[in-house]
Amino acid sequence: MFEKVLILSPHTDDGELGCGGSIARFVDEGKHVTYVALSCCEKSVPPEYPRDILRTEVKKATGVLGVKKEDLMLGDFEVREFPEHRQKILDTLIDIRKKVKPDIVFTPSSDDTHQDHITVMKETLRAFKMCTILGYEQPWNNITFNTLSFIPLKEENVAKKIAALSCYETQKGRKYLNAEFIRGLARTRGTQIEEEYAEAFEVIRWVFRP
């Protein structure tokens, strides 16, 4: 039903965290996956690292998942300032839509509490009206989450997700990057649909094109 997949990640690592297993599965199935990180979060980098280190880390992480170098796009929006730049973000997303022409778009969910994430979700809805849009899960930001859609995963998909996230040396202290947490959540979502592993998504928009 879809061949061109677009992952919208407000910051580096959001896309891997929300749908890294699905990205790995899509690549294995031969689908064209484009990954966009709108911010490389220079202001949030620990002082002992180079300011542009997240650009290096996201390249490694998406490479582990199988995303081609030419299908990785990195933006320069400042972290935690997205609400002030909604129009520029919308314009950027429209340009991406014209270039990529995706069939399905993955973006933060409508219940995400981070100001940058919710801005991206709202502008995604405006920019990609003709596409199916799924909102990915990030429990540390979600007060609630509508598990309306599931993508079953294999062991190798989950393993690649964990390996990709391990590329973020600068973020290693964050509990949600723990391999046990990532695997446990995937197992929980899998149990809900009688599979070993899965990722769950909110259906923001569904466009059926056989």
CATH number at 94 reads: 3.40.50.10320
Cα–Cα dist 112/10, whole Å: 12
Residue 200 located in a structural domain: yes
Residue 210 located in a structural domain: no
Residue 199 located in a structural domain: yes
**What's residue 1's pLDDT?**
73
Phi/psi at 92 (nearest 5 deg)? -65, -45
Rg (CA), the chain: 16
**What's residue 202's pLDDT?**
98
**What's residue 174's pLDDT?**
85
**What's residue 9's pLDDT?**
98
**What's residue 62's pLDDT?**
98
Q: Of 130, 108, 142, whose CA–CA distance to 9 is shortest?
A: 108
Phi/psi at 159 (nearest 5 deg)? -60, -40
Residue 187 located in a structural domain: yes
Residue 165 located in a structural domain: yes
Residue 153 is encoded by which pair of tokens?
């995963």
**How many angstroms separate the Cα of 179 from the Cα of each of 158, 162, 172, 185?**
10, 6, 11, 10
Residue 23 located in a structural domain: yes
Cα–Cα dist 43/204, whole Å: 31
User: Which stretch of DSSP H or E encloses residue 180?
Assistant: helix 179-192
Residue 21 located in a structural domain: yes
**What's residue 63's pLDDT?**
98
Cα–Cα dist 179/205, whole Å: 31
Q: Give the domain range for residue 114.
A: 4-205
User: How many domains would you assign to the chain?
Assistant: 1
Count H helices, E strands: the chain?
Answer: 6, 7
Who's near 207: CB < 8 A, 6+ residues apart?
A: 130, 131, 132
**What's residue 173's pLDDT?**
80
Residue 156 located in a structural domain: yes
- What does pLDDT average to in each consecutive run of 10 residues of the chain (210 residues)? 95 97 98 98 91 96 98 97 98 98 98 97 97 96 95 98 96 88 97 98 93
